[in-house]
Amino acid sequence: IEESLPTSQHAVRVDVSGGPEVLQWRQVPVPSPAPGEVLVRTAAAGLNFIETYQRSGVYRMAHPFIPGSEGSGTVVRLGEGVETVSPGDVVATAAGSGTYAEYFTAPAGQLLPVPAGVDPVAAAAIPLQGMTAHYLCRSTYPVESGQTVLVHAGAGGVGLLLTQLCVARGATVITTASTLQKKELSRQAGASEVLDYTGFAARVRELTGGEGVHAVFDGVGRDTFDESLDSLRVRGTLVLFGGSSGQVPPFDLQRLNGAGSLYVTRPSLAYYTRTAEETRWRAEELFAAHGAGTLDFRVGATYPLSEAGRAQADLESRRTTGKSLLLP
């Protein structure tokens, strides 16, 4: 039996590109799930860097729009043809539409069942950054026991999760972070060395006996890219997965030749969650690691959804650690 739902809700809406002030708390209609989709009552929405690019205009968006693709909550309505979930199920997703709202829709095939015993709010910390950390070290560059890798922004959302996953795979993890508090957090997540951003490549060489690391996971981008290349061993891999300091400008491929036959890749989560099976595999491994005590979700802060602007400003000005969640 479907419960009766309101026809309108509160949501964050963006009408024009701009700073955090363009995130407006508005009354909007509750969306209807299209065929193959479900409607979810939000427990928490995840804050992610991509939403700052979409808000500011780095990524082009059709206005108006409700931000957010990550969220958790309870399924309250099914679109036509949905048979894999039922109303009342607690789910999380990285593929929702407009999760900065009291209700959001998501494709049924991209829902992660939240195991009993996992807090439905905390579950919003896992889909986007957790699955990103998972695909980066399991699929883009499969990290192996005995290897040494460098993870930038080690106290960040992806950084804390990625560090824990690499350590669990038996790798030695070196990270970067900007403040003493962040360095301590990164160490707690398993980093053996936490470096400053200035001159990190020379320090990485020292720490690896001159060899360099097997892989660099770089979500900082513009400010770190050059030294990330200089930190790699022969035939090492630079995984550029974001640009929290800005996007990397075009570069000369010959540099990969001169520096030791290096590899560079620029991956994206959507291409690593192509099927329901692949998405479920990643989620199951993450929730299993959480259950086994090797993966702490590291929620650093929660904000009311109505203060999404303050949350995004904190993210952009490097004031956050770990995962930030928005609560309706």
Q: Work out the burial of residue 228: count CB atoms within 10 Å of its CB; fewer than 13 is exposed, 13-18 middle, 19 or more buried.
A: buried
User: What is the nearest approach in angstroms of ligand NDP to the Cβ of residue 133?
Assistant: 9
Which one of the spans 27-35, 64-72, 80-88, 216-224 is the region binding ligand NDP (CB under 6 A)? 216-224
Residue span 46-85 as binding mask against ligand NDP, x where in contact by CB under 6 A, dash where not: --xxx-----------------------------------
Which one of the spans 11-19, 65-73, 153-161, 187-195 is the region binding ligand NDP (CB under 6 A)? 153-161
Q: Contact with ligand NDP (CB under 6 A): which of 11, 220, 229, 238?
A: 220
268 lies in the binding site for ligand NDP (CB under 6 A): yes
Residue span 100-129 as binding mask against ligand NDP, x where in contact by CB under 6 A, dash where not: ----------------------------xx
Residue span 289-318 as binding mask against ligand NDP, x where in contact by CB under 6 A, dash where not: --------------------------xx-x
Residue span 168-207 as binding mask against ligand NDP, x where in contact by CB under 6 A, dash where not: ---------xx---x-------------------------
Residues 29-48 that bind ligand NDP (CB under 6 A): 48
Which one of the spans 60-68, 110-118, 206-214, 239-247 is the region binding ligand NDP (CB under 6 A)? 239-247
Q: Contact with ligand NDP (CB under 6 A): which of 17, 245, 302, 306?
A: 245
Q: Which is nearer to ligand NDP, 236 or 242 (CB)?
A: 242
Q: How do 172-176 and 148-151 pair as beta strands?
A: parallel
155 lies in the binding site for ligand NDP (CB under 6 A): yes
User: What is the nearest approach in angstroms of ligand NDP to the Cβ of residue 177?
Assistant: 4
261 lies in the binding site for ligand NDP (CB under 6 A): no
96: left (phi over 0), alpha (psi -120 to 50) or beta: beta
Q: Which residues contribute to the site for ligand NDP (CB under 6 A)? A: 48-50, 128-129, 132, 153, 155-159, 177-178, 182, 219-220, 223, 241-245, 267-269, 315-316, 318, 320
